């Protein structure tokens, strides 16, 4: 594979999407071809699965069902979009990838992490991001940023659930220091942009 795969992670409202969009623009400005995708979703089939996952009506969804649906959405996105783009030498930026499942369904919902890793090893065709930005921010500050937004099923969870996820992400970042860059989310949008840009340029130099 010739392209570089960059993912953004963190709890809801931490600022991932804001930063992912800026990074795409900056990379395009220096001549890279960039594909952007969000999870769950990103293909026709994956967006249909997203509807099922996020529908506020589906309150009875079982956590194992949820994990398998997330993995199904991910395998379709990986095969249909991410792998071909990387083969063509493009940069792929993904707003969430399998680390979200380890954090939310594993640390958050308490499902077996070994099983979730195995499920995702298959669903991703063993593809691992080259670089993952974890935007770390307190649950309280994330909530402030989400104020007024209509919550989907997965965003209706309580603060205890989100705190477990935040801690889970921080543990994951310590397990893979080479891949994860932890960015403090309470800095200004512009400051975070600069940190992310510096780190990305460093990686691009090593990679291409
Ligand atoms: P996520 O994708 O992680 O849910 P978003 O990027 O959608 O988060 O940001 C959530 C809200 O917070 C948006 O209104 C966005 O403009 C705002 N926001 C993002 N980053 C910052 C920041 N560093 N400081 C203040 N507000 C921010
Ligand atoms: P979304 O509206 O895309 O939120 P965000 O902008 O915060 O990414 O909703 C995605 C929701 O799905 C979010 O609450 C996190 C959750 N999710 C999981 O629980 N596990 C996963 O593997 C993924 C990809 C998302």
| 66 CB near ligand 1 (under 6 Å) | no
Establish whether residue 23 lines the binding site of ligand 1, counting it when its CB lies within 6 angstroms of any ligand atom: no
> CA 69, CA 71: separation in Å to the nearest integer?
5
Q: 143 CB under 6 A from ligand 1?
A: no
Q: Please work out whether the CB of residue 18 comes within 6 Å of at least one atom of ligand 2.
A: no
The domain segmentation of the chain, as residue ranges, is 4-207
Q: How far is the CA of 15 from the centre of ligand 1 (A)?
A: 4
Q: Long-range contact list for 138-147, CB < 8 A, 24+ apart?
A: 138/166, 138/186, 139/11, 139/163, 139/166, 141/13, 141/185, 141/186, 142/11, 142/12, 142/13, 142/14, 142/185, 143/13, 144/13, 145/13, 145/14, 145/15, 146/12, 146/13
Q: For position 148, what pLDDT does the model report?
A: 86
**CATH classification of 4-207 is 3.40.50.300, yes or no?**
yes
Task: Give the mean pLDDT per block of 10 residues along the chain (208 residues).
Answer: 95 97 98 97 98 96 98 98 98 98 98 98 98 98 91 85 98 97 98 98 91
């Amino acid at each position: 594979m010739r392209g570089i795969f960059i993912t953004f992670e963190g709890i809801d409202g931490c600022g991932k999407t804001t930063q992912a969009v800026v990074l795409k623009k900056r990379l395009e400005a220096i001549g890279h071809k960039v594909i952007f995708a969000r999870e769950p979703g990103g293909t026709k089939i994956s967006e249909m699965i997203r509807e099922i996952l996020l529908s506020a009506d589906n309150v009875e969804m079982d956590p194992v069902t949820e994990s398998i649906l997330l993995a199904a959405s991910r395998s379709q996105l990986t095969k249909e979009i991410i792998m071909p783009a990387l083969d063509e030498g493009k940069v792929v930026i993904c707003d969430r990838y399998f680390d979200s499942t380890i954090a939310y369904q594993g640390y958050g919902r308490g499902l077996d992490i070994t099983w979730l890793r195995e499920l995702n090893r298959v669903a991703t065709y063993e593809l691992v991001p080259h670089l993952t930005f974890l935007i770390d921010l307190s649950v309280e500050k994330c909530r402030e940023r989400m104020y007024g937004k209509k919550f989907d099923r997965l965003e209706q969870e309580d603060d205890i659930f989100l705190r477990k996820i935040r801690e889970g992400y921080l543990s994951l970042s310590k397990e893979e220091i080479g891949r994860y860059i932890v960015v403090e989310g309470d800095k200004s949008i512009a400051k975070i942009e600069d940190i992310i840009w510096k780190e990305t340029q460093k990686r691009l130099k090593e990679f291409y």
